[in-house]
Chains A and B, each alone.
Chain A
Amino acid sequence: MELLDKIPGIIGYAVINAEDGRIEEVKGSSTSPLGDLSAFFSSAGEVIKNALGLGEIDYLSLCYGAHRLIIFLNDNKYLGIEVEREQKPEVFIEKIKSEIKPVEVTKPVVEEIKPPPSPAIELPRSISSKLLQINFLIDEFGAEGKKAHWIDILNQGLGILGGDLLPVAGIVEGKLSFKEQVPPEKEDEFVQILRTIIDFLVKKAVEEFGSSQARIKVQSVIEKMKQV
C-alpha cells in the first residue's frame, strides 16, 4: 500500500486482512493505535451491519480529538486511514479509491496514452534544506542496517511535534517528503517544526550513540550539506 504514503491528507494508515482480522501493516506518524482501532472496529461493523440491517458497509468513521479514522473495505482488505477531523469520509474514500484503482485492461491499444505527469512539488529553500538535513541525518544514523529503526523514530517525532505538517508531509520511499505544495502562510511554521524535528533526532542520537559519536555523525551531515 505504498501508494497511500503519497496521498496528501493521510496522517497514518493500517491495513487489515478482512478474512481473519490480522493487522498486516501500520504506517505513518499517528500516535493512535491505528492497527487495533481498524481491526476492532471493522469487526464490530460487521456485527452492527447484521444486527441493524445496514446492508454492505460503505465505511465506518470514528472521531477522536482532532482526528478522524475512516475504515472501508478495499480488495479484501480493510483500510483504516487517519485524517484530520474536518475531512469528509465519502470524499476522501473516493480520492483514495481513484488513486489505488488498478489500471483496467481494455481492447487492444492503438496508441499508448500516458497520464499527465503529476506536477512537481516546489518547496521554498528554507524548507527543502531542512528536509534534506533530516533525510541525511536518517541515512547517517540509520547506516549499518538501522534505517527502519530511525524511520520509526522520525515518525514518532513527527507524531508528537509535527502538528499541521502531518497531513502534507510524510515518509515516502524511505525519505521525509512533502506530498503537496506548502501554503506560503505556513512556511515559517513548517520551518520551525522541521527545526524541532532535527533537534529531536539529534537528542535521540545522543541517547543511542553517546554524545561524541553523535557529534561525529552530525558533523558528517553538515559536511554533506555543504557539498549540496
Chain B
Amino acid sequence: MNQEILDKFEERGLKIVFNVSKDGEAIVSKSGVGLKSKISQTGVVIFETINAIGGVKIDTIEVIGANRGLLLEIGEDNLIGTLFERTETPTFENLWSLLREIKEERAIGVKPEEKPRVMLPPDILDEFKKVLKEYLGDFADRIYQNQIKAQRINIEEVYEEDARRLIFALGKAAGMIIGPTKGKELTNKLLGKLK
C-alpha cells in the first residue's frame, strides 16, 4: 500500500484515509499526516484488542463519536480506515464502498512473494458434509447450513482460509452436541481433507 493510492482516494471523497499494519506502521493520506502517530496508536489498540479476545474474525469496525467517525476494514495483517467529520459525512455506505475499493486495489498490488490465496476443489464442501454426517447424524445438515451462513462462505468459490475458518466453527458447534473430544476429532478429520 502506498501513499499515492491513499491520496487518490482522499480526492474521491475519503477525508483522511490510512493503512496501518499489525505492528503499527501507518501510511496516512495527506490531510491526516498530522495525526499519523495517533492513527498508528489506534491501529495497535485495535489489533491488540482483537488478539486479546481471539477466535472471532472481526472484519469491519465502526467507532462513531459526536464529532468524528472512524470506519475500519480489518485484514489479517493490516487495517484500512477512514476518519471523517460527522458534519460533512456522505452516507456510510459510500465510505465503505471506497474503503473496499482500496482493499481490492491493494490486493491487485500484492507483492509476488506474498502467499497467494488457494482455491479448493468444488467438491470439498461435499466431503465436509460426509464427515459431518458420520459424526453428527441428523444434526449434520442444520449445523452445516448454519455455519455456512454464519461464516459467510461463498459455496461457489471456497478458498483455503475460508475452509479453515469453517472447519473450526463446525468443530466448535459439533462439540456442543458430541462433546469437545469428538468435536476436536471431527475438526482434525476435516482439516485432513485439506491436504
Residues of A bordering B, CB below 8 Å: 31-33, 36-37, 40-41, 43-45, 47-49, 51-67, 89, 156-157, 159-163, 192-193, 196, 199-200, 203
Contacts and interface: CB of A to CB of B under 8 A. Distances in A.
B64 A58 contact: yes
A227 B68 CA distance: 61
A206 to B, nearest CB: 12
B193 interface: no
A12 B39 CA distance: 32
A31 B59 contact: no
Interface of B: 35, 38-39, 41-42, 45-46, 49, 52-53, 55-70, 83, 86, 138-139, 142-143, 145-146, 149-152, 172-173, 176-177
Nearest to A156: B176
B56 A53 contact: no
Given A51-B42, A55-B67, A156-B176, A161 B143 contact: yes
B12 to A, nearest CB: 22
Contacts of B176: 156-157, 159-160
A60 B145 contact: no
B114 to A, nearest CB: 24
11 contacts: A36-B52, A41-B61, A47-B41, A51-B41, A52-B39, A52-B68, A52-B70, A54-B64, A54-B69, A54-B70, A66-B152
A60 B62 CA distance: 5
A199 B138 CA distance: 9
Contacts of B70: 48, 52, 54
B55 A33 contact: yes
Contact of A62 (B35, B61, B68, B149): B61
A55 B63 CA distance: 11
B64 A65 contact: no
Contacts of B139: 161, 196, 199-200
Contact of A65 (B41, B61, B86, B152): B152
Contact of B49 (A41, A63, A67, A163): A41
Contacts of A31: 150, 172-173
Given A65-B150, A65-B152, A161-B139, A52 B57 contact: no
B41 A59 contact: no
Given A33-B53, A36-B53, A200 B177 contact: yes
A56 B66 contact: yes
A48 B62 CA distance: 11
A59 B64 contact: yes
Given A54-B65, A160-B176, 7 more contacts: A44-B49, A51-B42, A52-B68, A54-B63, A54-B66, A57-B66, A60-B64
